[in-house]
Chains A and B, each alone.
Chain A
């Protein structure tokens, strides 16, 4: 019974992540790439994303806080960040990145700063949700 409950929980959490727009098709592709030779692919990629992007977020933070803003550099960082977030299917995060880049192109410092708060917020929310989800997936597979 425990096993069924866990599996149902996993399915319901997963469905909700998609329904609420946190994840898109790219995430499904990651799931499809997971197989016997790479049984933890999804977790590995998600971990990679959060490790890599932590650095980028720091860079963006610094760029926003230092004297006259270098919008070119900002756009570069955000381009990378958006590239990664879209690769794992982080839909809301990616959308906020797009909004940020528009402010960047317009050289709107205020807009960039506000937009970046949104990016960080969505990023943190997704991180929490994915942690819980993947932990539940792990538990479910262990009781299989």
Chain B
């Protein structure tokens, strides 16, 4: 460390005092900034939040399902996809499920997203799994109905990467506050 050390001896020959000089190099201080998750959306793909997130995607439309899946994977999510409301319920099961979020198209034949969400909420708690609806018709009535059923968020179709990221982040943060 490029320093120096010396001893001042007293008349008897034993050490009276010792001095030690060590040179340190000044470096800028390293501070770790913890990113406030609620800040601006210029970083929609913040990997830490979505990485490894277990998502169940339910959409009967092949094309939309393929695109949405790819978008979610781009965000870092781990995606399982099903093609119907029934499959969705089966995948979640009555007991514990590995999925943290269910992303659900509202307009599906036979068993629509509203029904699926109601049944999930009937047997499971308010926030596990989180449910996010997808719909082309996101008007106030739809949102109101979703809210009453216990759906945690709504994504407008056609789906954009930014749209998914913002809504998922919002839903996850709200869940953490509970």
Minimum CB distance partner of B74 in chain A:
A33
B78 within 8 Å of A (CB atoms)? no
Number of chain A residues whose Cβ lies closer than 8 Å to a Cβ of chain B: 21
B87 within 8 Å of A (CB atoms)? no
B172 within 8 Å of A (CB atoms)? no
Q: Is the CB of B158 within 8 A of A48?
A: no
- Shortest Cβ distance from residue B158 to the other chain A in the assembled complex, whole angstroms: 4
Q: Is the CB of A87 within 8 A of B74?
A: no
Which of B66, B71, B136, B161 is the one whose CB lies under 8 Å from A48? B66
Instruction: Give the docked Cα–Cα distance between A44 and B65 (Å).
Output: 13
A41 within 8 Å of B (CB atoms)? yes
Most central of B74, B136, B158 by chain A CB within 10 Å: B158
Query: Which stretch of A9-17, A77-85, A112-120, A135-143 is in the interface?
Result: A77-85
Given known A-B contacts A80-B61, A83-B64, A41 and B70 have beta carbons under 8 A apart: yes
B67 within 8 Å of A (CB atoms)? yes
A52 within 8 Å of B (CB atoms)? yes
- Shortest Cβ distance from residue A55 to the other chain B in the assembled complex, whole angstroms: 11
Q: Is the CB of B107 within 8 A of A79?
A: yes
Which of B63, B136, B157, B161 is the one whose CB lies under 8 Å from A45? B63
Which of A26, A44, A83 is the one whose CB lies under 8 Å from B66? A44
Given known A-B contacts A33-B74, A41-B70, A79-B136, A26 and B62 have beta carbons under 8 A apart: no
Instruction: Give the docked Cα–Cα distance between A130 and B67 (Å).
Output: 18
Q: Is the CB of A33 within 8 A of B71?
A: yes
Given known A-B contacts A26-B158, A83-B157, A86-B158, A38 and B63 have beta carbons under 8 A apart: no
Q: Is the CB of A38 within 8 A of B136?
A: no
Given known A-B contacts A29-B160, A82-B136, A87 and B63 have beta carbons under 8 A apart: yes
Interface positions of A from 61 to 103, Cβ below 8 Å from B: 79-80, 82-84, 86-88
Q: Is the CB of B61 within 8 A of A52?
A: yes
A30 within 8 Å of B (CB atoms)? yes
Q: B67 contacts which chain A residues (CB < 8 A)?
A: 29-30, 33, 45, 87-88
Instruction: Give the docked Cα–Cα distance between A14 and B126 (Å).
Output: 47
Q: A48 contacts which chain B residues (CB < 8 A)?
A: 62-63, 66
Q: B62 contacts which chain A residues (CB < 8 A)?
A: 48, 52
- Shortest Cβ distance from residue B91 to the other chain A in the assembled complex, whole angstroms: 23
Q: A29 contacts which chain B residues (CB < 8 A)?
A: 67, 71, 160-161
16 contacts between A and B (CB under 8 A): A29-B71, A30-B67, A32-B161, A45-B67, A48-B63, A80-B61, A83-B64, A84-B61, A84-B64, A86-B136, A86-B157, A86-B158, A87-B157, A87-B159, A88-B63, A88-B67
Q: Which 3 interchain pairs have the tightest Cβ spacing?
A: A86-B158, A33-B70, A87-B158
Q: Which residues of A contact B (CB under 8 A)?
A: 25-26, 29-30, 32-33, 38, 41, 44-45, 48-49, 52, 79-80, 82-84, 86-88
